[in-house]
Structure 1
Amino acid sequence: MPPSLPPIIDTHQHLWDPEQLDLPWLKNAGPPLAGRHWAEEYRTATEGVPIAASLYMEVDADPAQKLKEAELVLKLIESDSSPTKGAILSANPGADGFRKYVDRFRNDERVKGYRQVLHGGTTPAGYCLSEKFMANCRYLGSQGKTFDLCLRTPELRDAVRLAAACPETTFVIDHCGNADPKAFFTKDDKRKVRPSHDAQRWRDDMIELAHQPNLHCKISGIVARVPNAWSSDDLRPIVEHCRETFGESRIVFGSDWPVCKMGASLKEWVAALAEIIAPWPIEAQQKLLSGNARKIYRLA
C-alpha cells in the first residue's frame, strides 16, 4: 500500500451476517460472497489501508427485514467499535409507506441517505421516473438526505431526468454508472472478453449526467468486473473520464467491499486506484478519497 496515500472515507461498505439477516440473493452466491462479511472481516480486509471512516451501504435484504437491517447497522455505529460512522439505508421511493419509513430517521444524523436497487431484475426500465418516485426523492431532499442510484447502463439517462426533477436532492451515481472495464480494451488486446455495453455510449451518458449539478459520481464497483491478469490501466479510462466530466469536487471513493472481491481484494483495488491518481494534485486526491465524501454525506 502506498505510504503517502491520504486518509480514506469508504462510502460504499457492504456488511452482512447471514445469521442475522436474510439476503435472498446471497443464497445462490458462492465464493467470494458467501458467508459472513461483518465488521471484523472488514477490519481484516482493510488492515494497512488508511481508512478514516466508512459508510454502510444497504445490501438488498428481504423487504420484511429492512428495519432490522437498519437497527443492526445503527447499533454497530453506536458501538463505535468499527470505522462505520454513517449509513445509507434501503428505502424504495416508489413504494407505499415510503415516507412513514424514512420519517423515523428524519433527525437521525447517523442515517446519511438511502438507496433502492434499480439494476436488478425486479425493477423495470424507467421505474425511477414515476411521479411517486420523484416526489419521494424530493421529500428526501427536504430532509437533507441523499439518494444513491445504481442503474443498468442503458438506463443511465433516467438519472438525468430524475435529478432535474429533484434539484434540491443530492444524488450519487454508484459504480461509475456501472461501467464495464472490458468495454475500454483496445482491439489488439489478447484477452478474449466481451463487454456488457458500448464504451462511447457510456462516455456520452456520463457527460449528460454531469450536467446536473446535484448528481455526483462514486468511483467504485469497476474492479469487480475485471478479467484475470488485469492492471490499473484497465480501470484508468473509466476513472479519468469520471474526473473529467464531474470534476474533482463531485467524485467520491467507495470500496464496494466485499463485492469487489469478485475481481480483487480491497487492498488491490485501493492500490490500483492509488496508481491511477498518483499524477493528480494532492488536493484532488484528498477530495476523491475523503474531502468530497464529508460534504456530500455530511460527515464531521
Structure 2
Amino acid sequence: GQNVVKAVYMEVDVAPEQQVQEARHLIELCQSGKTPTVAAVISGRPNSAEFKAYITQFKKSPYIKGVRQVLHAPSADRGLCLEPQFVKSMRLLGELGLSFDLCMRPSELADGVKLASEVPGTRFIVDHCGNADPRAFLSDDVRGGERSHDPDKWRRDIDALAKRDNVICKISGIVARVPKSWDAEMLAPIVNHCLDAFGPDRVVFGGDWPVCKLGATYRGWTTALRQIIASRPRGDQRKLLHDNAVRLYGLS
C-alpha cells in the first residue's frame, strides 16, 4: 500500500565470512525479478587488505551499486574511515563506479567531510541524515535528560558535507530514535535542514525497514515525511522519493 515500485537493498552488517554469500544472494534476488529489489549496496570491510579482491569479483555485476560498513558500531573505532587502507579502498570504489554509504556517529561527521574531500572521485551517501537524534533538537523541558549529540555541530557538519559535490544525503533512519509520543513536527528540523543544505538533486529517500520499527511503522515514517515535504514543489518531492534514486543508482 506504499507504492514501492523499486527498491535498493541495504546491507545488514553480516559477519565478514558471510559477505560473499550475502552479495551472491542479492544478485540472484535482483535477477529473479520476483520482488521490487533491483539493486544492492553490499557489506564490506574497506580497511582490510583483502577488500580489493573481495569487491572486484562483483565489478561486472549490474546489480551491485555500492558498499557500506556501519561506522557507528562498537567494532568500528573512531577515525576508522581516515585510515590509509580505508582511504585507498574508497578510491578503488570510485574507479569501479561504486558508492560508499557513510553510516557514522553524529559526532564524527567531520571525518566524513575529510574523507569526501580526500577522495573526490567517489560518491558518498550520508545515511540517516547523519544519524541525527530527533530528541537532541527538542527543548530541555520537553526532551528530558541529556542530548545525545550537539544539534548545532550536526548542522555545521551537514552543511560542510553538502558543500562536497560527491556527497548525497539519504533521508532515512531518524524515526527509529523518536520517543513513544512523537509527530512529524519532531522530525521536521532534521529533514528540512538536510533538504535545504543538499538541494533537491542530492537527496534520496530511505525506508530503513525493519529498523524504523523501533520508532514507527513503515507507513508511519512515510506519512510523516510526506507531511514535512508537502509544501515543497511537487517536482522536488518526486526527486526525493523516486527520481534521484533512479538516476544516482542507475536503476532500470
TM-score normalized by structure 1? 0.82
Aligned match of 2:153 = 201
What are the ranges of 5 or more consecutive residues in structure 1 without an aligned counterpart?
1-47
Secondary structure of the structure 2 residue equivalent to 1:241: helix
Q: Which amino acid aligns with 1:133?
A: F
Query: 1:72-151 maps to which residues of 2 (within 5 A)?
Result: 72-151=25-104
1:291 corresponds to = 243
Is contact 2:16–2:44 with CA below 8 Å preserved after alignment? no
Residue 51 of structure 1 aligns to a residue whose secondary structure is coil
Structure 1 position 260, deviation (Å): 0.2
Letter in 1 for 2:106: T
Structure 1: which amino acid aligns with 2:122? Answer: T
Distance between the aligned counterparts of 1:67 and 1:272, measured in 2? Answer: 36
CA distance in 2, matches of 1:192, 1:186: 9
* Contact 1:170–1:296 (CA under 8 A) maintained in structure 2: no
Question: What residue number does 2:115 align with?
Answer: 162
Name the structure 2 match of 1:171. 124
Residues 122-161 of structure 1: CA deviation (Å, up to 9, x unaligned): 1111111012111111111111111101011111010111
Residues 1:52 and 2:5 aligned together: yes
Secondary structure of the equivalent of 2:45? coil
| TM-fit CA distance, 1:198 | 1.2
Counterpart among 249, 254, 277 of residue 229 in structure 2: 277
Q: TM-score scaled by structure 2?
A: 0.97
Distance 1:170 1:104, change over 3 A: same
Alpha-carbon shift at residue 287 of structure 1 (Å): 0.8
Report the equivalent of 2:168.
216
**2-structure distance, mates of 1:196, 1:247:** 27
Q: Which secondary structure does the structure 2 equivalent of 1:124 belong to? A: coil
Q: Which of the two has greater helix per residue?
A: 2
How far has the Cα of 1:193 moved from its partner? Answer: 4.9
Quote the residue 1:4 is aligned against: none
The question of 1:182 aligning with 2:135 is answered: yes
Aligned to 1:116, the other structure's residue is in SS state strand
**Matched residue type, 1:192:** G
- 1:188 deviation in Å? 4.1
**Which moved further from structure 2: 68-77 or 115-124?**
68-77
| Rounded Cα–Cα distance in structure 1 between residues aligned with 2:104 and 2:27 | 26
Q: Contact (CA 8 Å) 2:6, 2:38: kept in 1 or not?
A: yes
Give the corresponding residue for 1:15: none
How big is the alpha-carbon RMSD for the aligned residues of Structure 1 and Structure 2? 1.1
Instruction: Count the aligned residue pairs.
Output: 252
Contact 1:223 1:235 in 2 (8 A): yes
What runs of 5+ residues in structure 2 fail to find an aligned partner?
Answer: none
TM-fit CA distance, 1:72: 1.7
